[in-house]
Structure 1
Amino acid sequence: MTRGPATPLPSPKARRRLREAASLTQTQLAERVGVAPGTVRAWESGRTTPRGRKREAYAKLLKTLAAEEESAARQAARTPQPTPPPKTEPTGDRASASEACPGAEAEPGPEPVAMPMPMREPAPESQPRSTREPIPEPRPAPAPLTPAQAFDALYEFSAPALVRQTFLLTGRREQARESVERAFQTAWERWPEVARDRDPVGWVRATAYEYALSPWQRFRPRHRHPEPPPADPGDRTLLNTLLRLPPRHRRTLVLYDGVGLDLPETAAETEASTPAAAHRLLRAREAVAGRLPALADPQVLHRRLAELASNERLGAARPPTVRRGGERRARFRTRAAIAFTVALIGTTALTVRTAPTHYEPPVSPGQAVRGVPPRVAPGSLSDEELELRQKLRDQMQDGPERLSPQLE
């Protein structure tokens, strides 16, 4: 659905014919694909059809077997078949003796001597080219892709499908597009690791899902403003039903019934055990069927999920734009790390510069000295002290009277 177009497979009879032409048993082919022999038997009989990664691996193996069969047929057509030597009739007396006495054994004659065959002269250069054997021209080896070209090919192949899948998880178009772009930017930063991965699309898909379902998304200002729902009422109801599911159940349902992964692959991508993934899938299907009884059939649910994702016009940025955005984020993080390191070094240097260089003992507490009365803290004034203070306040504070004492 939301993946790219399914890998084409030959008919069940052609699958069996290719396997038998390569002299492989069902067990050997099952080991090369990574499934059980009964699964290969069901594929060749037409009872079941491979899905997900098993389908891609099976189609790739069948394509290899078909190429080997075609190459063997061309090689057999080019190899000349040896012609049997012509039969010679007996002549002379030996022939008449054989006719006269058919039951008698012929006398052994002298063995024929092998005459040397004359050497064939090479064709002159003036001979027309049509009479000579055509010399196949060597095909030039395809030039290896650069990392940027390989990344662009992966992005153009899987980005539109991943945006539609992420929309089913979040119900927000901008958030789905941003999640996929952020996942591809992370993949570009770790491109050697992603390029060697068995399933690069699965690596990017897991990263996009983790970013889209992060609980921190609800604190963003964009999350506070709802986006317009789908125009079709059925699509709107189905999307609201999906968004009411717990994030883990919703992700399991989209991977299994939407993308088309099998149960072990779904469990591995959601970092859960196979029984736990099966339980989440059953609970999610029950919740969807309880609200929409028409989607109780998994095939109908798969078709409706495909229609819901296809009805939305979800575009993706160009690969060079995504790569440049990832490089800008990497430069920003590098500069921020350098600035933090410089600030930490400066703070450390300032601390070392201003720290005391010798030990200063603390001031010891006071002790009573014999013969010296302790200092008494000021308390309330007596009546005499209050009268004296008032008298001092009433006298003049300046003038000649302050210089010459007067008798009262």
Structure 2
Amino acid sequence: MKTKVLICGAGCAGTALAFWLARAGHNVTVIERSPSLRALGAQIDIRNQGIEVINRMGLLEILLSKLVKEEGTHMVNSAGEVKAAFGKGNLNATAEYEIMRGDLVKMLYEATQDHENIEYIFGKMVESFDERENENDNLVHFSDGSTDSFDLLVGADGQGSRIRSAILPPGGKEYRKLGIWAAYWFVPRIETDTNTMSMYSSPGGRLMLRRSHNSTETQVYCIFRDDENTEQLNKLMRAPAEEQKKYWKQKFHDAGWETDRFIAGIDDTANFYCHEVVQVIAANWVRGRVALIGDAAHCPSPLTGLGTTTSLIGAYVLAGEITRSPDDLALALKNYERVLRPLIKEVQVVGPLRIKMALPQSQWVITLRLAIMGFLCWLGIPDLLSQYVTDTSEWQLPHYPALDL
């Protein structure tokens, strides 16, 4: 049976799901509120089972041609001296498969845009929807005043998902607050910027990352911990970009290292984004004929390094369960959540100690951490562990023969 599916969001999760559903013969419409494909964003990575999903798509060779050539990670002090060095690996900050978000989105879009079963519509969004039990479908009302019916509505609309808010029980908790705030932007690359990510900690729970993805641009990430000014910071996230930039300049002006250079480039950057770092912990990903995937369902936060990986896996599992139970959509959606929940539960474990160690408040903790990590790297322990330990070791990727090439 062919299912008529509406996917809200043309990001990594939405385009991946469209790929799998179209391969299985279903009819898919993908709507995106932006007027064109949002092929922007920072550097992301794909790990473990996420790579196998790309391989099953038949897109691994294309992915390999688009990877960022990041060689590893250096932890540095305020003088820029390397105190600990890590290579690529499963447990390291630099994964084997690093790619710019925009390049991954374009790759998935280009693999689906000409498929006869897929239609992309930009500059449009879902205003509301009615789940019609008698019709066994959803009547969807769009922002342009039009309506249409779909067998399945999928929210792939990110961390701030409107679809998720609509299907959760009243008062249902959507987020786990971590007390972390982050911004990134691009600055011109200079001679001393390398293909190794540099990581620098400054007192006050501040962290800065520098990584270069091409010959002309360098990415700057500024991250800090603050559990006390949540209301003020939430207002800032909704403020105009100029006001946000002013705050980040003030917050990091005395952080040391290359801060002066980074702050000087913030006003001229064409890529600036800031947000609160949270985890999405929706109690349910399914209601009736509505489902959530990717960050809309289970954003694990950048601290885990597994957001893109779990989005790709979730899209594959949802499409696979629909093909496994083609005559019973309710069963397929139930099994999708049953199969994927154990993985998400595993990767979303981010304890308070991990946060404190990632964003230490005092200089003596920063100095101690650099000394410990430097000694461990000298022994070769981190890279050895990274070769043999995976981030999602207790969960096995299912196989859905109906989705094979």
| Structure having the higher Rg | 1
Relative contact order: is structure 1 or structure 2 higher (C-alpha 8 Å, sep ≥ 6)? Answer: 2
> Going by fraction, where is strand more abundant, 1 or 2?
2
Q: TM-score normalised to the size of structure 2?
A: 0.20
Q: TM-score normalised to the size of structure 1?
A: 0.20
